[in-house]
Amino acid sequence: MAFINENKKLVSIIVVLILAIGVFLSLALTNDKAIAKINGEAISKDELYEKMVKQYGPDTVEQIIAEKIVALEAKKQKIIISDAELNGEVDKLKTSYGGEEVFTQMLKANNTSLDDLKADLKNYLTLRKLLEPQIKITDEELKAYFDQNKDLFGEVEQVKASHILVEDEAIAKDIKQKLTDGADFAELAKEYSTDVGSKENGGQLGFFPKGTMVTEFEDVAFTLPMNQISDLVKSDYGYHIIKVEEKKEAKEANFDDSKADIKETLMNQKMQSEYSIWLEGKKKDYDIENSLASIVG
């Protein structure tokens, strides 16, 4: 999906910026009024607008033309992306990020919304349906990729754990007693934990392999039975109270189990290279007039 969207956000911002400035300048300034001056020498709104068009215009127009061609080709072939398909892709992303909460955080961190993500997914799925019939992936290619990337498909032993971290031993003992008395682990983590990276999530650390945490923490986390709460664990960071929620055993890479993921990876790679060829071929089927080319050329 990255190959059709990597510049999309930038292009959208540029388009909005150019249009917004153009509208603002048209409403706020007369043709002869300067937007800035240097030693009395004026910079006009036309100078600014022309500069922006020359700098950003060609790429923006080409991007819009490409999007229009994709939409027209999809209409010709009666390609429709259903809500079920979109929601299915969103669910896959949620699973890959480890759940709804982390997925929502990802959206926020990337300054995007679920609606924006669905729009990008719809564009990707549309283009995929247009290109997929002409892309072939052989069993030999799948096996070659697997052999070259086995480390990507095996799984090391992992645990999913939460913890409460405090600096003072007396406070840690008090928290442990509250847990023994039936208090909620997540609520106590939010109230007491000094680990700012996990406390708002109830101390949740997600899945992690050996070698990720300090030795004292891992020695307990990888031996503690599921759904049990540890005694106090001392490390250089303070006192941990650990709860293990799930475990994943180590798993060797298996070609048959990995074929679907490999095919998806190769499909995206081939779409990356096929898209440009496909687009240039489709441009010949349309009467395209680009007036900006003569302005900035």
Report which listed range, 10-19, 30-39, 64-73, 103-112, is most confident: 64-73
pLDDT digits (tens, 9 = 90+) for 207-264: 999 999 999 999 999 999 999 999 999 999 999 999 999 999 888 899 999 999 999 9
Query: Strand 41-44 to strand 204-209: parallel, antiparallel, or no bridges (unpaired)?
Result: unpaired
Q: How far is residue 231 CA from its own chain's centroid?
A: 38
- The residue with tokens 């000094």 is 194
Residues 6+ apart with CB under 8 A from 89: 121, 125
pLDDT value of residue 47: 80
**CA 89 – CA 118 distance, rounded (Å):** 9
Residues 6+ apart with CB under 8 A from 173: 232
Handedness of CA 284, 287, 292, 295 (dihedral sign): positive
> 158-248 has which CATH code?
3.10.50.40
Task: Label residues 68-82 b or e (16+ Cβ within 10 Å = b).
Answer: ebbeebbeeeebebe
pLDDT value of residue 24: 45
* Domain assignments of the chain as residue spans, ordered by start: 2-66, 158-248
Using the predicted structure, report yes or no on whether residue 4 has a pLDDT greater than 80.
no
**CA 215 – CA 167 distance, rounded (Å):** 18
What DSSP assignment string belongs to 89-101?
HHHHHHHHHTSHH
Determine contact, residues 45/29, Cβ cutoff 8 Å.
yes
Pull the structure tokens for residue 95.
């699973």
**CA 147 – CA 136 distance, rounded (Å):** 19
Using the predicted structure, report yes or no on whether residue 13 has a pLDDT greater than 50.
no
Pull the structure tokens for residue 250.
């180590």
Residues 6+ apart with CB under 8 A from 272: 3
Side-by-side strand order, sheet with 158-166: 204-209, 158-166, 238-248, 233-235
**CA 219 – CA 222 distance, rounded (Å):** 6
Determine contact, residues 268/145, Cβ cutoff 8 Å.
no
Determine contact, residues 194/166, Cβ cutoff 8 Å.
yes
pLDDT value of residue 297: 55
pLDDT digits (tens, 9 = 90+) for 260-281: 999 999 999 999 889 999 999 9
pLDDT value of residue 21: 44
* Confidence category of residue 168, pLDDT binned at 50, 70, 90: very high
- The residue with tokens 């990020």 is 97
Identify the bridge partners of residue 144 per DSSP, sorted by sequence position: none
Q: State the alpha helices, DSSP H only, in 198-254.
A: 215-221
**CA 257 – CA 244 distance, rounded (Å):** 27
